[in-house]
Amino acid sequence: MIQDIELINKCIKGELKAQRELYDRYAAKLMPVAMRYGKSQEDAEDILQDAFIKIFNSLESFRQEAQFLTWLKRIVINTSINHNRRKLYEQPMLDIEKTPLHVEKELVISHLHFTEIMAMLHKLPVGCRTVFNLFAIEGYPHKEIAEQLEISEGTSKSQYARARALLKAMLDEANQVVQSNISMS
Give pLDDT tens digits for 52-61: 999 999 999 9
Supply the range of the domain harboring residue 82: 1-90
Q: Are 22 and 106 found together in one domain?
A: no
3-state secondary structure the chain: CCCHHHHHHHHHCCCHHHHHHHHHHHHHHHHHHHHHHCCCHHHHHHHHHHHHHHHHHHHHHCCCCCCHHHHHHHHHHHHHHHHHHHHHHHCCCCCHHHCCCCCCCCCCCCCCCHHHHHHHHHHCCHHHHHHHHHHHHCCCCHHHHHHHHCCCHHHHHHHHHHHHHHHHHHHHHHHHHHHHHHHHC
What is the pLDDT confidence band of residue 65, given thresholds at 50, 70 and 90? Answer: confident
Looking at 90, 115, 142, which one is the last position of a domain? Answer: 90
Looking at 37, 67, 90, which one is the last position of a domain? Answer: 90
Higher pLDDT, 68 or 114: 68
Which amino acid type is present at position 100? Answer: P
Q: Are 80 and 169 found together in one domain?
A: no
Task: Please tell me the pTM assigned to this model.
Answer: 0.67
Q: Are 60 and 81 found together in one domain?
A: yes
What is the pLDDT confidence band of residue 88, given thresholds at 50, 70 and 90? Answer: low
**Span 6-48, pLDDT tens digits:** 999 999 999 999 999 999 999 999 999 999 988 889 999 999 9
Judge contact between 160 and 136, C-beta under 8 A: yes
**Span 94-130, pLDDT tens digits:** 454 444 444 344 444 556 677 888 888 889 998 999 9
Q: How many domains is the chain built from?
A: 2
Looking at 90, 111, 142, which one is the last position of a domain? Answer: 90
Percentage of the chain exceeding pLDDT 70 = 81
